[in-house]
Structure 1
Amino acid sequence: MSFAPMRLGALWRKEWIQIWRDPASIGIGVVLPALLLLIFGYGISLDALRLPIGVVVEKPNPLTASFVAGLEQSRYFAPHPYGSIGVAEEAMSRTKVEAILWLWGDFTRRGLREGNAPLSLIVNGVDANTARLMEGYFQGVWGQWLDWEAKTSGEPILTPVDVESRIWFNPALESRHYLAPGVIVINMTLVGALLTALVIAREWERGTMEALLSTPVSVSEILWSKIGPYFVLGMGGMAVSVGMAVGLFGAPLVGSLWVLFLAAALFLLSSLGMGLVISTAFRSTFLASMVAVVATFLPAFILSGFIFDIGSMPGPIRLFTYLLAARYFVALLQTIFLAGNVWSVILPNLAALFLMAALFLGIAWRMSRRSLE
């Protein structure tokens, strides 16, 4: 059967009317991406701020007061003074504080000059991630205070290593700038896979697929009529998400906008293809939606590198992530947003997305042909 542009246009018009009459499709395609970006941008942060820390000073003096003042001025700590180490340990056991800074009685300038100032940092290790963050924050405050003491006293302070940090790509260390690209991946996965997973399944449930098959349309025209409108809807949600990430949350968009939307188009085509495969295999909208969430949304959230580092995952899981289109899209977005047009990263990931889009669309066409004809 020949491919007729007029028939395809009529099918597209039918799909747009169906989308317009279905508020859930518009909500998932436009409203949900904006809502998720607001939730992740304002409600989730990988930064640990104003961490409660108990402070025990055995012999207060101007030097200890200066160091405690440095803690108070830091945005990472909220110091709570305690009279003895026993009381502070009791407070930490009751989770009133996350760490204890213990300045011993001989915390003096002489100890600083010799490089072995007597102090202890006791950290609650129940939450290992927060414990590591707190340890790193304390090292930063300690180093800044040593530099300040050296400048005010005019005498050098003995330190084994003089560390000078230089942070690339995200110098402000804002987790929002890191999370915003990942949220865009989650949004487009929902739009691409979840919506299209319901398309053909809904046609079978409503009995309209039989009526559609009685017309002269071909399988390719049916599939492209399903892909086209949702592709436009997904790219519209992408534009809204990028605008919010840059305008509302201040995420830097260092790379080219056309590269960003090319990557988004390839990823959306792969998600649409996977959604069509699920929709063709499961003719129930309930089953199709559940499979779409388990097969696309959860892996994109957990295994794409959006929040959890892929390099720290077990070997078999790392190998499995190569089968996820979201892995490549996360790498592309984080590179384009924070680092710019790094072609050694962009080109291989674009190629992987192109192959995955072709693979899933081809599988969807083969399955639909067998199922519909």
Structure 2
Amino acid sequence: MTSLTHNRRFFLQKAAMGSIALGITPLSWPLGTNVAPGKRVGMIGLDTSHSVAFTKALNAAAASADYAGYKVVAAYPYGSKTIDSSAKRIPDYTSEVKKLNVEVVDSIDELLKKVDVILLETNDGRLHLEQVTQVLKAGKRVFIDKPIAASLADVIAIFGLSQQYSIPVFSASSLRYINGMEGLDKRQVLGADTFSPAVLEKTHPDLFWYGVHGVEMLYTAMGTGCQQVVRVHTDGTDVVVGTWADGRVGTFRGTRTGKHDYGGILYTQAGNTKLGPYGGYEPLLKEIIAYFETGKTPVTPEETIEIFAFMEAADESKCQNGAAVTLQSVLEKAKKKGAVK
């Protein structure tokens, strides 16, 4: 069994467990039922298990009050077309969301005419800048699933468009809300070690595709301010050590062998805290709905940009045989690529 297949099964199992925990029951509202004004959700990309899990939670007859009546009413399936591990999921996931009373449409333009807010779930981060541009031009709030893009230049460009159209953009991994992170006072954090699978995908920088989960956990604990990273890379493992401006040190361990798991240790002034186990999508989905309602994002653009600068600097360190690379240097290179005016 490949590690990617193992990962997919892990997330599907967690999604199913999350659905049970949420008390999701079979749908009872018929296709075409009016959804309250402003609460029609559109989905771009049916190539990830997140698409089905989010739809099941929102469209359940007994959906949580935390979801405020939002329902997925329409979806555009594409989505990855050239990454086989994602593209091959589209037919089955399309069939599943149709059973959940979701209309499947032929274009993003058609989708935008039918909905109020967007879940951008396309697994291929290379498509996100083009897709979110259409959404922002249409004046819709949008959550962008991980990775927000497949290059640091595109990440910065997306937030530039967000400013241009005066629409805040939210992107996060569900691992930001792993057990142990709740109620954390970042001012008490002295350091952190996190770990997650780091499956590689040749079309994306190494950690963007899957290592982003563990890196986002690290940033959820440490906050912004990392100055430089050093990366140790082998076929089965990556270890990235970040040094923050205030002298704190945080590490991320990405695995491609052995048991695939998510967690870590937080070192705080009050003692050490264990992260884990992973509890599913519910905490993230609550934050997405709160953002749809208010327009306020729980993660700042600055933090999301730095997360991806951290991972791009880690790639540069790998290319330099483990040399220290500053985040400022990769940010300057990204801006020079011309994606940001």
TM-score (norm 1): 0.24
TM-score (norm 2): 0.26
Q: Which has the larger radius of gyration?
A: 1
Say which structure, 1 or 2, has more relative contact order (CA 8 Å, 6+ apart). Answer: 1
